[in-house]
Amino acid sequence: MNIAVIGCGYVGLVTAAGLADFGHTVTGVDNDSAKINLLKQGLIPFYEKNLTPLVTRGIQNNRLSFTTKIDANIENAGAIFIAVGTPSLNDGAADISQVLKVARRLAPYLKKYTIIINKSTVPVGTAKQVANIIKANLAVDIAFDVVSNPEFLREGKSVADFFQPDRVVVGTNSPQAKRIIKKVYARLITEGIPFVWTNPESAELIKYAANAFLAAKITFINEIANLCEATSADIDTVSRGMGLDARIGKQFLAAGPGYGGSCFPKDTKALAHIARAYGEPVSIVEAVVKANERQKARMVRKIQNTTGNLKGKTLALLGLAFKSGIDDIRESPAITLINQLLAAGAKIKAHDPRAMKNAEKIWGKTIIYCRDPYEAAAGAEALVIVTDWNEYRNLDFKALKKIMKTPVVIDLRNIFTPQEVRRQGFHYESVGRGLKVLPGVPVKS
C-alpha cells in the first residue's frame, strides 16, 4: 500500500525504510531540505547501524522516496505516519507543536478515508487533539481515523528492533483502522510478533510508562552502587545477584554516570507533567529525574576527589555519546561532566568513535578533539571513561602509562576490573566497587 512518513529523524527514517522493505511504497517527508537531499542520495545524516543499506535498497527498488513537501504526494496514501520530535518544554511537558502543525498541514490533502498514525511520543489525549485539528481543516468531508502506534526503537539497534520488536502497540477504537494497520504490519503479524490492541489513551501511556520504568531501573542500580561505595560492597556482584531473579532480570542493571539520550530524560519529565496535570502525581518518576541529575553531579565530584584541584589540569575523556554504538549526544552525561569540569578550570581532551562532530556543535574549540584514545591520554592527569565503547575495552595500559602525566583511570562505566588496572600501576576509580579486595582475589565473578 502507499504510505507517507512525516519526519525523517531516527524514528521516521527507520520506519519509512522498514515499511518499504515490507513491500509498501513509502514517501518520507521532512522540512529539512539538506537532510532530504542527502537521503535522496542514499546518505544518512546520522549514524545508525544497518540503516544505510536498508535505505539504499528501498531507493533502488523504487519503494522509498523523499520530499520536503506535504502536498499531493500524500493524497494517495492509505496511511500517514507522524514521526516528528516532541522535545521537552521548560516545565517538563512534551512540546507537541510539531505534531499538531503536521496535522493541520496534511488535513487539506485528505481526499479519501485515511488513517493518521502517531508514531511520535506524545501525551495522553494527543490522538484526540490531532483528530480535532484534522477535522477542522479538511478540504472535503471525508472519514479518517487517528491511531496511536508508539515506537520502541533503541538507538544503535533500531533497525533490528523494527524488524524484530518485542511487541507492537496499537491504540484505536476503529475496526476499519485496525484492518489497515494489519495490512501495514502484515509481515510482523505473520512472523508471530505480539500485538497489543488497545485504545489510543492506553497506547500513549504505555510508551511513557515503559521508558520511565527503565529509567527508574537504571537510577535504582546507580543509587545502590553509591551505597556499595559507602559500605564496601561490590555493585557487580549485587547486580548479578539481583539480575538472576527472573522477576527482575539483568538488563539495565549496569551502574554508571546516569541515563541520557533522546527518550528517557524527556519522557520521564513529560510523564511527571502529565500525572500532575491529572492530579495523580507519580512521585517515583519525579524522584528518578532528580536522582539522575544527582548521579551526574556525583561523577563530577568523583573526578574532583580523585584528581584534586582541577584548575589547569588536563583530563582525557573517552566517550561523548550517551551510549555506545551511536553518534547522538543529546542529554549525554558527558555534557554535564564537560561543562562542569571546564567551569572548574580543567582542560579537556576528548575522543569518541562517532560523536565528535556533534560534540563540536556544542563546545566548538573549547575542548580538544583527538583521533584516538592515546592522543587524548597524552599528557593527561586522568583518563575518564564516559561511554562504554568496545574500542576502549582493550586499551594498552603500558602504553598509556608512558604517555600520561599521572597514571589515573576513572572508569564511570566499570568496563575494567580494578585489579587488572591497578596491576599496571594505575590509580583506579570506578562506580560502586567499594569492596576491599585482597591481593590475588578477583573482583568480578
Residue 360's pLDDT band (boundaries 50, 70, 90)? very high
Give the pLDDT score at 438: 37
**pLDDT over threshold 60, residue 40:** yes
Residue 72's pLDDT band (boundaries 50, 70, 90)? confident
Give the distance, in angstroms, between the CA of residue 222 and the centroid of all CA atoms in the same chain.
Answer: 18
Give the pLDDT score at 434: 86
Give the pLDDT score at 71: 86
CA distance 239 to 235: 6
Mean pLDDT across the stretch 321-350? 98
Q: Is the dihedral of CA 82, 88, 93, 98 positive or negative?
A: negative
Give the pLDDT score at 435: 62
Supply 313's cell numbers. 589540569
Percentage of residues in the chain with pLDDT exceeding 90?
96
Supply 414's cell numbers. 566499570
CA distance 72 to 106: 10
Give the pLDDT score at 441: 40
Supply 266's cell numbers. 524527556
Mean confidence (pLDDT) of the chain: 96
Grid look-up 604517555 returns: 403
Mean pLDDT across the stretch 183-201? 98
- Residue 215 CB-density burial (10 A; 0-12 exposed, 13-18 middle, 19+ buried): buried
Domain spans, the chain? 2-198, 233-429
289-314 pLDDT, tens digit per residue, is 999 999 999 999 999 999 999 999 99
Closest by Cα among 281, 260, 91, 125 to 200: 125
CB 10 within 8 A of CB 48: yes
Strands (E), 143-257: 144-148, 168-171, 195-198
- 233-429: same fold as 2-198? yes
- Residue 368 CB-density burial (10 A; 0-12 exposed, 13-18 middle, 19+ buried): middle
Mean pLDDT across the stretch 260-265? 97
**CATH superfamily of the 233-429 domain:** NAD(P)-binding Rossmann-like Domain (3.40.50.720)
**pLDDT over threshold 60, residue 253:** yes
**pLDDT over threshold 80, residue 408:** yes
Mean pLDDT across the stretch 153-166? 98
**pLDDT over threshold 70, residue 437:** no
Residues 6+ apart with CB under 8 A from 222: 255, 256, 258, 291, 292, 295, 431, 432
CB 289 within 8 A of CB 272: yes
Give the pLDDT score at 439: 39
Phi, psi of 129, rounded to the nearest 5 degrees: -60, -45
CA angle 326-212-198, nearest 5°? 105
Supply 115's cell numbers. 488513517
CA distance 341 to 300: 7
Q: Which fold has domain 2-198?
A: Rossmann fold (3.40.50)
Closest by Cα among 11, 170, 36, 6 to 99: 6
120-155 pLDDT, tens digit per residue, is 999 999 999 999 999 999 999 999 999 999 999 999
DSSP, residue by residue, 329-395: -TT-HHHHHHHHHHHTT-EEEEE-SS-HHHHHHHHTTSSEE-SSHHHHHTT-SEEEE-S--GGGTT-
Give the pLDDT score at 436: 52
List Cα–Cα distances, 110 to 4, 59, 80, 144, 388, in angstroms: 12, 25, 10, 9, 47
Percentage of residues in the chain with pLDDT exceeding 70?
98
- Residue 317 CB-density burial (10 A; 0-12 exposed, 13-18 middle, 19+ buried): buried
Closest by Cα among 150, 173, 146 to 270: 150
Q: Is 263 a catalytic residue?
A: yes
H-helix or E-strand spanning residue 5: strand 2-6
Catalytic residue, candidates 8, 228, 263, 370 = 263
